[in-house]
Structure 1
Amino acid sequence: MLEKQVIDGLEVFSCLSASDSGKTPLLFVHGAFAGGWMWTETFMPHFAAAGHPCHALSLRGHGGSSDHQRIDWLSIADYVDDVRKVIDALAVDPVLLGHSMGGFVVQKYLERYPARAVALLCSVPPQGLIAAQFHLLLQKPQLYLEINSILAGNYTDTDTLRDALFAGEADPAMLAEWLGKMQNESQRAIWDMSMFNLPNLFRMNRPPMLIVGAEQDALVPAFLVQSTAQTYGEPCHILRGMGHAITHEREWPRAAALIEDWLASLKP
């Protein structure tokens, strides 16, 4: 059953298994323009059914969390504080799973705190966003302009959303629902991810990592996911025929199964 609470101004969704299986708890960290809601329909119930207590926060300025009025001034360091605040309040030692910007937040988290293990899903690479931005500008200039328009707080449409996030067919009703929930992102956080606050590899804790990308990801292309894997000396897993929103592609269970196998391989 999905539950929601507010922890010091932060919206936190929880989905717990029917019985205590003793399996590792999971904390999901969402990407830009989104909120904790992006995990609640697919990944959270899936992993809770497999016995993992699941939690997902909405970073400050996102979803049902506070500080929307300060969104453009919020930093990646603020988002790292949010993750730590939720972990402390829930008194859990979770595996961290970060998607897109959330993966970058998780990497910055490792500069300051240890973690049991982390999964970087279509994550902004440790080298930052600039290569991804230039790639998008060259490959899909209209989509690049549309995304910058969203950053400025302007409205978009479901066609743009589909082109940005999905490789295969996407349910129109789901796209419309996402469009109603998505929002502008912090300009400061975007600059942090571009060049001003990149992960310090020498300060990072290095827990077990799972690095996953999508073959047809327009926002974080597969070659950048491969670069992330090379940086951390980890295998790279590229999901064929999928786009950036691996949580909601029609074949999202393939992504979940990959994560589930990795979780099972971790030492207790």
Structure 2
Amino acid sequence: MRKMNLEVLSQQPLQELSNNPVLLVHGAWHGAWCWKVHFADYLAQQGFQVHAISLRGHGNSEGRRRLRWTGLADYVDDVAQVARQLSAPPIVIGHSMGGLVVQKYLQTHCAPAGVLMASIPPMGVLLTALRLVRRHPWLMAKVNATWSLYPLISSPELAKELLFPNEMPVAQVELFWQQMQDESYRCFAEMLGLGLPKPEKVNTPLLILGGGADTLISPDQVKATARAYGTQAIILPNIAHDMMLEPGWQTVADAIVSWLRTNSSDCSEF
């Protein structure tokens, strides 16, 4: 397996209070930049060594020209590559598509804890795709005609509809939208059913979070993810999909930190 040149943005704590670093995995259209806005600094303030990866084809990582043909297994390899370079097995936190990558990573890798934020459920994105077809039939037709997911977030207004709360000003959304990009069409196909995770193979303690105002991954889908892993979901009211970027981000971060203080496990396999 060839080692990829991957962007990793790191934040060191002033006082390290955890033996395990945190590895943050972004979702579709994003990169490591989405964690640096709020989450990385805040988690470092809580005593965690924090590392945010840009998966291949995203941010400043290599692989942009082959992005359309990149698969979920490639993203799992990226997470594994960065995890091996860290001082200890990382706590893995994944958002949206990154949550699905984390689920697949945990099938074959040890981690002291995992957090799924508005994650693609283990049964895939068919329900989400059907909702999008109903709301934006022409956009979804363009997605399939061009083999590109960019049409779904091709304006700040569309990005806001999918990712952010109604009350968030479009001008603020635009600052984030300018950093967004296309996503792998192959991954979209795999998330429809060709490359889904196997929850029975995951033994890592999991925190599963959803947003009550999320229009992309509904609270019911988040609860279904929790059931698949034998746990209870936490649905945060008034939180939309991009929960690490919206005004309520600290509520999300505090829920994660509080859970991690009492729910991590030993992980000797590294």
TM-score by length of 1: 0.90
CA 248–153 in structure 1, closer or farther in 2 if over 3 Å, else same: closer
1:119 is aligned to 115
| 1:57 maps onto 2:90 in alignment | no
Report how many residues are paired: 260
User: Could you say which residue in structure 2 is the equivalent of 1:257?
Assistant: 254
Show structure 2 runs of 5+ residues with no match.
266-270
Corresponding position of 2:235:
238
Aligned match of 1:141: 136
> Could you tell me how far 1:143 is from its partner in structure 2?
9.2
SS of 1:70 mapped into structure 2? helix
- The answer to whether 1:248 aligns with 2:250 is no
Looking at structure 1, the residues matched to 141 and 12 of structure 2 have their Cα atoms a distance apart, in angstroms, of 38
CA distance in 2, matches of 1:230, 1:144: 32
Residues 110-164 of structure 1 deviation map (CA, whole Å, 9 limit, x = unaligned): 22212111000000000001012113334x3369649938935457211111111
Contact 1:59-1:65 within 8 A present in 2 as well: yes
Deviation at 1:65, TM superposition (A): 0.1
> How far apart, in 1, do the equivalents of 2:147 and 2:169 lie?
22
C-alpha spacing 1:133/1:267, structure 2 compared with 1 (3 Å): closer
User: Percent of pairs identical after alignment?
Assistant: 34
Relative to structure 1, is the Cα distance of residues 64 and 190 closer, same or farther in structure 2, using a 3 angstrom cutoff? same
Root-mean-square deviation (Å): 2.1
Q: Do the aligned residues in 2 keep the contact of 1:153 with 1:184 (CA within 8 Å)? A: yes
1:45 paired with 2:9, answer no
Query: In structure 2, how many angstroms separate the alpha carbons of the residues matched to 1:232 and 1:17?
Result: 31
Moved more, 164-173 or 212-221: 164-173
Alignment match of 1:191 (pick from 165, 169, 189): 189
Q: 2:82 aligned with 1:67, yes or no?
A: no
Structure 2 CA distance for aligned equivalents of residues 73 and 189 of structure 1: 8
- Matched ranges for 1:160-179 at <5 A: 160-179=158-177
Contact 2:157–2:170 (CA under 8 A) maintained in structure 1: no
Runs of 4 or more consecutive aligned structure 1 residues displaced over 6 Å after TM superposition: none
Could you tell me whether the CA contact under 8 Å between 1:120 and 1:211 is conserved in 2?
yes
Question: Helix, strand or coil: the match of 2:92?
Answer: strand
| Conserved 8 A contact 1:168-1:242 | no
Give the drift of 1:78: 0.3
SS state at 1:167 partner: coil
CA distance in 1, matches of 2:252, 2:245: 10
Contact 1:11 1:57 in 2 (8 A): yes
Q: Is the 8 A contact 1:27 1:95 kept in 2?
A: yes
Work out the CA distance in 1 between the residues paired with 2:112 and 2:53. 18
